[in-house]
A = this chain, B = another copy of it.
Amino acid sequence: MTDIKASLITIGDELLIGQVIDTNSAWIARQLNGIGIPVVKRIAVGDVKEDIKAALDEELKHSRLVILTGGLGPTADDITKPFLYEYFNCRSVVNDEVLAHVKELFTRRNRPIQAVNLRQAEVPEGCTVLFNRVGTAPGMWLEKDGAVVISLPGVPFEMMGIMEQEVLPRVKALFSGNTILHRTIITAGEGESIVAERIKDIEESLPAAIRLAYLPSPGIVRLRLSTMGTDEAELTRSVQAAESKLVERLENIVVATEDIPMQHIVGKVLVSRNATVGFAESCTGGYLGHLLTQVPGSGTYFKGSLVTYSNRVKMSLLGVSPEVLAAETAISEKVATKMATEALRILDVDYAVSVTGILSPGGEESEDNPVGTVWMAVAGKEEVKTKRFRFHYDRAVNKEMAAQMALLMLWKFLNGKL
């Protein structure tokens, strides 16, 4: 079986009115890719039986595996299970294992159990129950005309647990054969079109089975090579050859050859140097510390962040002088430098990065420092480097850009490229 395709159908009005962002589909797609199954389509429909039916009918025309998520909660707006009874023309039965688990969950959490909670143990007769260790709604595996339809809860960590423990091993056993390979090269400092121009001849001579995609994000362009087939050794060889050519050509702007966020890239360098880092943040408000502490094990190199959002705290905690603030405002090279050197001292770290700027209207903007102006400094034991940026977007995007540029600046400093 080497031509298996998958479709994802997410169910819930909240997706269609934009109240919730669908993070499940991306995660599921990555897991299926990992076992060689390409996702060809993702669909979101509302809590409407006819729409779920139409989408499932449509996808079963070309996909042998369809995963539904959502609509399995205990409340009246959750209609996936009634839909499944109708679609597979079966009645509901109580699954004893799930029933015992639901009761145990409520007892353990000391919460009173409602009749609707017990109904979570009802499943379509004949389905394979996919046990949910961390929630009350089990997943369900149903088959129809040689295709597999899987229904999972929409709560992300419940869905993830069932996928990892129950779905992926079964799917892999049933539909094995293909290998999908992706390689990602992360570049920083050049725009998408410049990168494309530099590698034009390599791109044009790539084997037909290899696709190259460009994924730009603030300050970064990711290049992704993708290929799929049955001969894993040959696929690996050809994609590695293409990757090597690209990395060699783009050497001066490559920051990583795996698809990991900037904070992981920086974390790896810090671990390899046995070095520590801290931040002094103003406009990023703690976001730099948040990003770095997303990385498990970051406690070995990240010591802390001094989020000095107000000028008074910049003075009292970091010793920024009132005279400098009055003469040059907080958005200045002098304040950025003082913030970084004081963070270095107070947090007792090898490197400190500071960020101070104005991300959206209504603060200290002026003709010299329009909205989007940000000063940053990186301090080591021997020297301090500073840089001024100007971002042109809204508050949230400007914050994201400032944080990415701060991490990139630290990476360049650590690698002698700043």
Contacts and interface: CB of A to CB of B under 8 A. Distances in A.
Interface in A148-193: 155-157, 180, 182, 184, 191-193
A164 to B, nearest CB: 11
Q: Do most interface residues of chain A lie in helix, strand or loop, or is the interface mixed? A: mixed
A114 B313 contact: no
Contacts of A397: 156-157
Contacts of A45: 40-41
Interface string A98-124: 000000000000011010110000000
Nearest to A197: B114
Contact of A307 (B75, B180, B305, B316): B305
A222 B14 CA distance: 11
Interface residues on A, range: 35 or more
Nearest to A363: B299
Interface in A1-44: 13-23, 25-31, 33, 38-44
A323 to B, nearest CB: 21
A362 interface: yes
A38 B399 CA distance: 32
Q: Counting chain B CB atoms within 10 Å of each CB, which of A13, A47, A293 scores highest?
A: A293
A348 interface: yes
A160 B89 CA distance: 44
18 contacts: A16-B40, A17-B38, A21-B23, A41-B45, A42-B43, A42-B44, A114-B194, A157-B397, A279-B286, A285-B298, A285-B302, A286-B286, A286-B305, A293-B309, A305-B307, A312-B348, A313-B347, A317-B346
